[in-house]
Chain A
Amino acid sequence: MTGLAILIPIALLLGLAGLAAFFWAMRDGQFDDPDGAAARILIEDEE
């Protein structure tokens, strides 16, 4: 049972970190151009 006291906070913290990362990505405009992001990987950088 003592394991729970450590594991539950860790699980919640990791989950919250994921949630925070999602909110950051949304504010940062990462979802503004989903199709473009998929296409950009194909652009060659000659310079």
Chain B
Amino acid sequence: MSALPRPQPALSVTVLAVPGIHCAGCIGKIERGLAAEPGVAEARVNFTARMVTVAHAPEIDARALVAALARLGVEAQPRRDEAARRYSAARPLLGPLAVAGFAAMNVMLLSVSVWSGAEGSTRDLFHWISALIAVPAILYAGRPFFHSAWSALRHGRTNMDVPISIGVTVATGLSLYETIRGGEHAWFDGALMLLAFLLAGRVLDALMRDRARSGVDALLAQAASGAMVLREDGALAWCDAAALWPGMVMRVAAGERLAADGEIVVGASRFDQSLLTGESAPVAAGPGAAVLAGTLNLDAPVDVRVSHAGRDTTLAEIARLMEASTQNRSRYVRIADRAARYYAPAVHTLAALAVAGWLLAGAGLYQALVIGVAVLIITCPCALGLAVPVAQVVASGSLMRAGIMVKDGSALERLAAVDRALLDKTGTLTLGRPLPDAEALGALPPEKAALALALASHSRHPLSRALADALAAAGHRPARIEDVAERPGFGIFATWNGAQVALRRPESPSGGMAAALEVAGRPTRLIPFADRLRPDAAEALTALRRLGVESSILSGDNPAAVAAVAHQIGLTAQAAADPAAKQALIERVRGSGRKVLMVGDGLNDGPALAAADASIAPGGASEVSAQAADFVFVGDSLLALPRAVRAARATMRVVRQNFALAIGYNVLAVPLALAGMVTPLVAAAAMSASSLIVVANSLRLARAAR
């Protein structure tokens, strides 16, 4: 790596999201390209988080950096919470895991010599060294468990951490007593190994959540986060969404999303409100008309006077609805904790009964207590602690490779139980963006197609871009055109082989969206545009039905548009539902005892996504929806839905098998412990064997998402 110029103290730092990078070449291109820009001191890519951190002179702003990256061919967006260090769930557990692993290995080494027959003062010495390593290590590495167990007990509840904490504490206490007494058995190795195994499970669980969160972060960073504001002196300046105030005038180019609610001052255009209301037909608006934040400007640049910004917008109203509905989620009890409800009292009663039984049988108090402790140690839920997280981590890794991001483990548990699916229409069942009619494109002669591609590639208008993408994908090359001029709101005009050509808005509006390809002296060709069903939509719904999940449409769009789609894929539908109505319907279905899966992308789906038992959003979803959903899938295919449900059910099957294995191990080991035949050697062997079996069984899920 070449030496980079030292950052001077006056440099400012900007973090940009670069969701599109995928290889080492991209890293090199971005870092070298940015460093070559004037005023940029250093650029460092974080490939895992898909971000680039740039140290640069203060006079350069984020917009200039985004433009520089665009020249390099990299799409980038400024991040809103630039300096904020992302919270990591795994990081605080790495230290305890390292300490527990280190201590367990060293103590185990000493224990092996004790087991192989060290006697007298040597054994005492080894026990003392073990104690010196183990006690501080257990105090440090056990903190996550002690903490969680204590807060559960304080609220009168119990969780998996309670039996773990009691087992570890009691084993350590007894071992210390034995060491001081010069006794035969110390259990330090068992207690440390238990902590190391359990922490490994926790770290895996946390890593999964971290990875999913950074994936979702990268998607969210693509949302519009500001606007070009027309200042009083006539200059244009970029303004962050948070800094927009009522009264400001923002200039919104065609193809941009509005950052705030407002009223059009200059210009007229059509707006795609599908993200906000689910309505698919574009709405025309002229001077004086109100337009909403989150809508997409389709046709021409307009100046909009901000009327509401930030917390006062329509968006904020939806956010308030969502807050009310997240309670369902927090009331859900994870399967491991449900198991702990029965498990913890059972093993504690068993240990108490063992002590009482041996006392009644005439054993001394000390011997009875040692046997009670052996029962506690042998039943310590090592395999149970690994049973759930390992299975979920392996399954979500498999889902992630298939393009489905899992927000956390409990989402897999909730999704497995789903038997009813409600799907939004615009953007969920359909792609949510206008695509050129395939038949019309196929009917274009190659030279016309090349001309259309050349014209379309000169515009950022959504229709032009969709047309250019489709033609380029079909293998066409752009024709040579000259004198290109784009007239916002009308189209692109140029000359081609001496003839006037244009790709423009049709003169006579004919219902749906369309673009007209004109060549002087020839008949005009009309290319209709429409929102298409996602590929495999019908197939995906059939697969869901086969899984026992009944689907229907729940849309905010007008009844006619919804009926057309419903007819096409054979589902029942409810149309014209506003966010509150969607939420209410979900509550009603849940009330009838069904487990509801909500699939949606729009802002209007946010409350419904939060209220459902489980929720999935497509990758192009609005920020609110991607945050509210449990799963986010990238790619166009709806087959992600049955795939996620299948993987979730396979995960729960493996989790139940793991529970059975762990309980089976207890059934074998507990009688030994009750009979007083468990030595530290037996405990260590049994614990590692059962953990390995559970991990191996979970690894079968590596192909769960196929």
Contacts and interface: CB of A to CB of B under 8 A. Distances in A.
Contacts of A19: 98-99, 102
A40 B45 CA distance: 10
Given A8-B129, A39-B23, A15 B2 contact: no
Interface string B84-95: 000000010011
A28 interface: no
Nearest to A26: B94
A42 B102 contact: no
A33 B24 CA distance: 13
B27 interface: yes
A35 B102 contact: no
Contacts of B23: 39, 42
Which of A11, A19, A44 gathers most chain B CB within 10 Å? A19
B109 interface: yes
A23 B25 CA distance: 31
Contacts of A39: 23-24, 27, 47
A26 to B, nearest CB: 6
Contacts of A47: 2
Contacts of B133: 12
Contact of A33 (B49, B105, B129): B49
Given A1-B122, A18-B102, A40-B24, A32 B95 contact: no
Nearest to B51: A33
A6 interface: no
A11 B49 CA distance: 38
Nearest to B31: A43
Nearest to B122: A1
Contacts of B125: 4
Interface residues of B, number: 25
Nearest to A37: B47
Contact of B109 (A11, A16, A31, A44): A11
B49 A31 contact: no
Contacts of A15: 102, 105-106
B20 interface: no
A43 B24 contact: yes
Contacts of A16: 102
B95 A33 contact: no
Given A12-B133, A43-B24, A33 B109 contact: no
Contacts of B25: 42-43
Interface in B15-51: 23-25, 27-28, 45-49
B45 A36 contact: yes
Contacts of B49: 33
B206 to A, nearest CB: 13
B10 interface: no
A36 B27 contact: yes
Contacts of A35: 47-48
A11 B24 CA distance: 40
B83 interface: no
B16 to A, nearest CB: 15
Contacts of A23: 95, 98
B124 to A, nearest CB: 13
A47 B28 CA distance: 12
Q: Which of B1, B24, B25, B49 has the most CB of A within 10 A?
A: B24
A35 B24 CA distance: 10
A44 B469 CA distance: 32
Nearest to A41: B24
B524 to A, nearest CB: 50
Nearest to B132: A12
A41 B23 CA distance: 11
B98 A43 contact: no
A42 B24 contact: yes
Nearest to A16: B102
A18 B313 CA distance: 55
A36 B2 contact: no
Contacts of A42: 23-25
Given A15-B106, A45-B2, A36 B98 contact: no
A19 B103 CA distance: 10
A47 to B, nearest CB: 6
Contacts of A33: 46-49
Given A12-B133, A32-B46, A33-B49, A26 B95 contact: yes
A11 B129 CA distance: 12
Contacts of B24: 39-43
Nearest to A34: B48
Given A12-B106, A23-B95, A26-B95, A44 B47 contact: no
Interface string B440-469: 000000000000000000000000000000
A39 B703 CA distance: 25
Contacts of B1: 45
A9 B94 CA distance: 25
A36 B109 contact: no
Contact of B27 (A4, A8, A22, A43): A43
A11 to B, nearest CB: 7
A15 B105 CA distance: 9
Nearest to B110: A8
A12 to B, nearest CB: 7
B106 A36 contact: no
Contacts of A32: 46, 48
Most buried by B among A15, A23, A43: A43
Contacts of B105: 15
A31 B2 contact: no
Contacts of A12: 106, 129, 133
A43 B1 CA distance: 9
Interface in B108-133: 109, 122, 125, 129, 133
Contacts of B46: 32-33, 36
A35 to B, nearest CB: 5
Nearest to B22: A39
Nearest to B23: A39
A12 B48 CA distance: 35
A15 B48 CA distance: 30
Nearest to A47: B2
Contacts of B95: 23, 26
Contacts of B129: 8, 12
A41 B109 CA distance: 37
The 7 A-B pairs with the shortest beta carbon distances in the complex, nearest first, are A36-B47, A42-B24, A39-B24, A43-B28, A35-B48, A33-B46, A33-B48
Interface of B: 1-2, 23-25, 27-28, 45-49, 91, 94-95, 98-99, 102, 105-106, 109, 122, 125, 129, 133
Given A11-B109, A22-B98, A33-B46, 12 more contacts: A1-B122, A4-B125, A11-B106, A16-B102, A18-B102, A26-B98, A33-B49, A36-B45, A40-B27, A40-B47, A43-B28, A47-B2
7 contacts: A8-B129, A15-B106, A32-B48, A35-B48, A39-B23, A42-B24, A47-B2
